[in-house]
């Protein structure tokens, strides 16, 4: 039975009480902060980008990207525009440049490169967007943080709009470029990568790897590189032609450096990192923060370093979990009411499996995107749950007049928030890229089998290696597998 709720006052507290601050990632332990990026010859990464994606703690890879990035920046057409380079801790296969001159690589895309030349080609392509000033020409900021990363493609427009006030707004400036801009960046990528000594034909080869990951349902993560970098049927051919011209102009053999790159990524986390939370059998587990709660049957979910989201399959309701600071339950409840613009808010102190908590119910008010009129845009039933000094917000939102339908689901999720004690769940470790050496006469498939890879993952591993399962390997050839 729903507890009787009492009115809660709305006071003018800062909204950042609810939003994760830098160093207050859901992915981090309660007391740890985001590791500071190493100093580089240029601007530091945007703290909001790091809060959204996370920073990869890998000094060797970061130093490598700093070195190659600054080397390429110096020979680019506008060296002063190229500001810095950062590896972010995301399994998504992507690389992007922001209008402020910073290039970001996800660990996801780094796992799929198979040589330094492929990395260099994509690096040159992203620097090309900066030096051609494509971001400034468009004069727009991305709507990425207004739905695309926070909610992915799993929520409807209505739910994305009503969930937005609970989200961390991050103006990342990730832009979707047109064909002309992409063609120009391809040309600059070929120019820049060959200028620092790498074979630019490898960039075209990497496009094929990306296409295969999109087509294969067995791949660990679907790339967003191609969706944010529109591909055309003749793009591979065009880059190959440009690469041949660049090599002729260079008058020498340009480097590929397969073995050097593969050794560099030994041990790189692959796919989702369970230390930052994972879903298994309709339950979300967070090993480092040591809590768990159910995911409603059939609902879709998405995890990020700063929040975890669940959505009803047809986009009619959403539950967002995010850290809400350490200002105390009463103060945080008042901030939540103001931030969500909740009208007629009612609150009741309670406990959830021995955690102090406050449950808040009310109507979210705002402007309807379709009619433009002010009114009730959502019903909300939210829980603030205190674990030690940390408060978590489980924000449930649904369409106006539908709380009777979804309120029970919101309540069930929150009331089953509990301490995680199962050692097998707590100790779950991420998979990592492991570099192995082939024996003479092995095919990729037989080499995978010899290293204990199950047959259902052969195609996934073939794509990861940029090979076919039937490809013959030479003695001493390095290749990737994935394991604990």
- Determine the 3-state secondary structure of 291 from DSSP: strand
Closest by CA position to 456, among listed 148, 216, 286, 195: 216
- Give the pairing type, strands 84-88 and 102-106: parallel
Q: What is the pLDDT of residues 220-231, one digit of tens each?
A: 455 555 555 556
Measure the CA–CA gap between 282 and 422, rounded to whole angstroms.
16
Q: Which of 146-155, 204-213, 391-400, 467-476 has the lowest mean pLDDT?
A: 146-155
For residues 355-375, average pLDDT? 82
How does DSSP assign 36-72, residue by residue? PPPP-SSPPPPHHHHHHH-B---HHHHHHHHHHHHHH
Q: What is the pLDDT of residues 1-58, one digit of tens each?
A: 333 343 333 222 222 334 332 233 465 433 333 333 333 344 788 887 887 788 999 9
**Per-residue pLDDT at 387:** 95
Q: How many helices (H) and strands (E) does the chain have?
A: 16, 18
Residue 246's contacts (CB-CB under 8 Å, 6 or more residues apart) are 190, 191, 194, 200, 254
CA 157 to chain centroid: 20
Q: What is the pLDDT of residues 277-287, one digit of tens each?
A: 999 999 999 99
HSE-CB of 250 using CA atoms within 13 angstroms: 21
pLDDT band for position 91 (cuts 50, 70, 90): confident
Q: Which of 114-118, 217-221, 403-407, 462-466 has the lowest mean pLDDT?
A: 217-221
CB-based burial label for 401 (10 Å; 0-12, 13-18, 19+)? exposed
Helix, strand and coil content of the chain, in percent to the nearest 5, comes to 35, 25, 40
Is 484 or 104 the better-scoring residue by pLDDT? 104
Q: Which of 87-96, 115-124, 297-306, 332-341 has the lowest mean pLDDT?
A: 297-306
**Per-residue pLDDT at 183:** 80
- pTM value surpassing 0.75: no
Q: What is the pLDDT of residues 187-244, one digit of tens each?
A: 898 899 999 999 988 988 888 888 888 777 444 455 555 555 556 446 778 888 888 8
Q: What is the token pair recorded at 39? A: 């100093």
Beta bridge partners of 396: 319, 381
Measure the CA–CA gap between 296 and 145, rounded to whole angstroms.
25
Q: Cβ(360)–Cβ(308) under 8 Å?
A: no
**Per-residue pLDDT at 41:** 43
A 10 A CB-CB count for 253 gives 9
Query: What is the CATH architecture of 6-15+273-426?
Result: 3-Layer(aba) Sandwich (3.40)
Residue 358 has pLDDT above 90, yes or no: yes
Domain boundaries, the chain: 6-15+273-426, 28-140+175-270, 431-483
For residues 290-296, average pLDDT? 97
CA 161 to chain centroid: 20
Element (H, E) at 73: helix 59-75
Segment of 245-249, 316-320, 447-451 carrying the highest mean pLDDT: 447-451
pLDDT band for position 177 (cuts 50, 70, 90): low
pLDDT band for position 304 (cuts 50, 70, 90): confident
**Per-residue pLDDT at 1:** 33
State the distance between the two ends of the chain, measured CA to CA, in whole angstroms. 45
CB-based burial label for 262 (10 Å; 0-12, 13-18, 19+)? buried
Mean pLDDT of the chain: 80
């Amino acid at each position: 039975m729903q507890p009787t709720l009492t009115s809660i006052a709305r006071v003018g507290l800062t909204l950042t009480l609810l939003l994760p601050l830098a160093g207050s990632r859901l992915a981090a332990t309660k007391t740890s902060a985001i590791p500071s990026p190493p100093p580089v010859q240029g601007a530091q990464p945007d703290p909001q980008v790091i809060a959204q994606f996370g920073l990869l703690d890998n000094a060797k890879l970061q130093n490598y990207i700093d070195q190659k990035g600054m080397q390429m920046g110096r020979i680019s057409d506008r060296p002063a525009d190229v500001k810095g380079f950062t590896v972010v801790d995301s399994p998504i296969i992507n690389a992007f440049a922001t209008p402020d001159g910073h290039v970001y690589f996800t660990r996801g895309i780094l796992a799929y490169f198979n040589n330094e030349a492929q990395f260099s080609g994509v690096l040159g392509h992203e620097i090309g967007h900066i030096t051609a000033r494509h971001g400034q020409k468009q004069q727009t900021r991305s709507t990425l943080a207004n739905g695309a990363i926070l909610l992915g493609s799993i929520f409807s427009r209505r739910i994305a709009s009503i969930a937005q006030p609970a989200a961390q707004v991050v103006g990342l400036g990730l832009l979707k470029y047109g064909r002309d801009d992409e063609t120009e960046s391809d040309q600059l990528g070929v120019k820049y990568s060959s200028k620092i000594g790498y074979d630019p034909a490898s960039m075209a080869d990497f496009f094929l790897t990306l296409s295969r990951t999109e087509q294969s349902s067995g791949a660990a993560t679907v790339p967003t590189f191609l969706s944010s970098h529109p591909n055309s049927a003749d793009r591979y051919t065009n880059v190959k032609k440009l690469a041949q011209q660049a090599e002729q102009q260079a008058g020498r053999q340009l480097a590929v450096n397969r073995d050097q790159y593969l050794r560099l990524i030994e041990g790189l986390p692959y796919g989702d990192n369970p230390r930052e939370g994972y879903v298994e059998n309709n339950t979300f587990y967070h090993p480092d923060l040591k809590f768990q709660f159910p995911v409603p049957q059939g609902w879709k979910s998405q995890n990020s370093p700063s929040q975890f989201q669940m959505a009803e399959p047809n986009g009619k309701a959403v539950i967002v979990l995010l850290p809400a600071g350490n200002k105390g339950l009463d103060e945080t409840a008042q901030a939540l009411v103001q931030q969500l613009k909740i009208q007629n808010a009612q609150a009741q102190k309670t406990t959830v499996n021995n955690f102090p908590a406050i449950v808040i119910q009310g109507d979210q008010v705002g402007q309807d995107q379709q009619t433009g009129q002010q009114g009730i845009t959502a019903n909300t039933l939210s829980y603030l749950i205190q674990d030690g000094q940390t408060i978590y917000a489980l924000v449930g939102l649904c369409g106006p007049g539908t709380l009777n339908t979804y309120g029970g689901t919101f309540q069930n999720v929150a009331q089953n928030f509990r301490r995680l004690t199962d050692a097998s769940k707590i100790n779950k470790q991420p998979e990592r890229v492991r570099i192995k050496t082939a024996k003479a006469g092995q095919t990729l498939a037989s080499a995978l089998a010899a290293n204990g890879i199950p047959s259902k993952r052969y195609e996934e591993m073939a794509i990861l290696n940029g090979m076919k399962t039937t490809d013959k390997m030479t003695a001493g050839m390095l290749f990737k597998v994935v394991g604990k």
